[in-house]
Structure 1
Amino acid sequence: MKASELQDKDSAGLNKELTELLKAQFSLRMQRATQQLSNTSQLKKTRRDIARVKTVLAQKDAKK
Structure 2
Amino acid sequence: MKTSELRNKSDQELGGELEALYKEQFGLRMQQAVGQLSRPDRMKTVRRDIARIKTLMNERRTAG
TM value normalised by structure 1: 0.96
- 1:11 & 1:45 partners in 2: Cα distance? 21
Who is 2:19 aligned against? 19
Runs of 4+ in 1 over 3 A off after TM superposition: none
Unaligned runs of 5+ in 2: none
Who is 1:60 aligned against? 60
Who is 1:37 aligned against? 37
1:28-62 deviation digits (Å, cap 9, x = unpaired): 00000000102101000000000000011011111
Who is 1:48 aligned against? 48
Q: Could you tell me which amino acid in structure 1 is paired with residue 22 of structure 2?
A: L
Who is 2:6 aligned against? 6
Unaligned runs of 5+ in 1: none
- 2:44 & 2:7 partners in 1: Cα distance? 21
TM value normalised by structure 2: 0.96
Aligned residues between the structures: 64
Identity across the alignment (%): 47
Question: In angstroms, what is the RMSD of aligned CA positions?
Answer: 0.6
